[in-house]
Structure 1
Amino acid sequence: MTPDEHHVDPQVLARARARVLGAPSQPAADPVPPGLTAASDGDRVWLLPAWPDGATPALLEEYDTAPMPLDRAGQARRVLAAALRCCWTRPDDAPWPSGDAQVTDVLEVYAGMSRGDADLARRWATGELRRLADTGWLLVDETAGTVRTGPRTALWHEDTLASLRDLLRRLPAPPASRPEAAAP
């Protein structure tokens, strides 16, 4: 066998690693490996797969290469929407990087979107927050009890955000921004 027969395209390898490992971070000064895109918030850079042009989420799923496999995709999307509602406080700006929001606020927004037992909804949402953090959609600091948008949101193209902005405006407001929260 020749060395070329053992060569794996670096972009294919980078996408495979990102599917398995999520979005690893590194110091901003380190070089970005081939096949990856960097999403920086200043001090750190998160490494994300560079998907081929025109590769929409539907096309990636059709070929069984979805960038983020989820067990309960619908629930995860709702938890992500609740987190975006709380973290992405300036929706006319890009979603990445966002400010921090309290995890408890995200859980309250999610519970307000759900029907049924609010405590059960919060428990389910807590698990989904962790899974979304593991896959780079959110950054959760469990010690501080905060969440912010993850580096994968840096890949959203501006022309795809209008419907998301409309959806977020219709979701319940986070407790910290409700008028009754500001009352003494």
Structure 2
Amino acid sequence: MTPPVPPEVLARARARLLGAPAIPVSEPVPPGLPTASDGSSVWLLPPWPDGATPALLEEYDIAPMPLDRPGQARRVLAAALRCCWTRLDDAPWPGEPAPVGDVLEVYVRMSRGDAELARRWATGELRRLHDTGWLLLDEDTATVRTGPRIALWPEGSLGPLRDLVRRLPQPPEPLPHVDAQGGAGEPVEDPGE
């Protein structure tokens, strides 16, 4: 008879297979497994082997970011950071929710060529980044925010990233809302996005 598999081994395997699965805060977290929490959920993060660099992972055919077009995915991630990382003095996780339309607009401003095609490609990349835990995409509310994998970025790497994010195009400004009496009210998002 096969001995039972310890729960921490199953949790590690699940994290490596699924990317960054979320569990309720009330569930116990296996010891030694990196996690990120936003107060309502805890994400189990697959640990990188000690000393693993992208070059080493590539040598062993292990993709650190399993995506079809990593250059494009990095640009979409940068556009999302520009919109979701609103307080650059703080850590990027958990970030602020941003409208998907704003992220797509920042991406289009970073790109060349057909804007509509760029939006379609970026939408696919947003979904792939969500599937791998780099972003949290809520398609019901059409918002995105930084994902739990970003919580693993060391503080020392954030300085150059802050400089890069500052140089990216600004997200579009919300349109002013005109109330029934013709006065300006709270800003609203562009309904065309």
Q: Quick check: 1:164 aligned with 2:166?
A: no
Structure ranking higher in helix proportion: 1
Partners in 2 of 1:12 and 1:61 — Cα distance? 25
Please say which of residues 52-61 and 75-84 is displaced more in the overlay. 52-61
Q: How does 1:64-143 map to 2 (within 5 A)?
A: 64-143=61-140
Q: Which residue of 1 aligns with 2:34?
A: 37
Matching residue's letter, 1:129? L
5+ residue gaps, structure 1, are none
Q: Which residue of 2 aligns with 1:51?
A: 48
3-state SS of 1:130 partner:
helix
CA contact (8 A) 2:14 2:21 kept: no
**Size of the alignment, in residue pairs?**
177
5+ residue gaps, structure 2, are 178-183, 185-193
CA RMSD of superposed structures (Å): 2.5
CA contact (8 A) 1:11 1:50 kept: no
3-state SS of 2:173 partner:
helix
Q: 1:174 aligns with which of 168, 171, 175?
A: 171
TM-score normalized by structure 1? 0.86
CA spacing shift, 1:52–1:119, aligned 2, 3 Å: same
TM-score normalized by structure 2? 0.82
Partners in 2 of 1:13 and 1:55 — Cα distance? 21
Q: Which residue of 1 aligns with 2:191?
A: none
3-state SS of 2:136 partner:
strand
Once the two structures are aligned, what percentage of the paired residues are identical?
A: 72
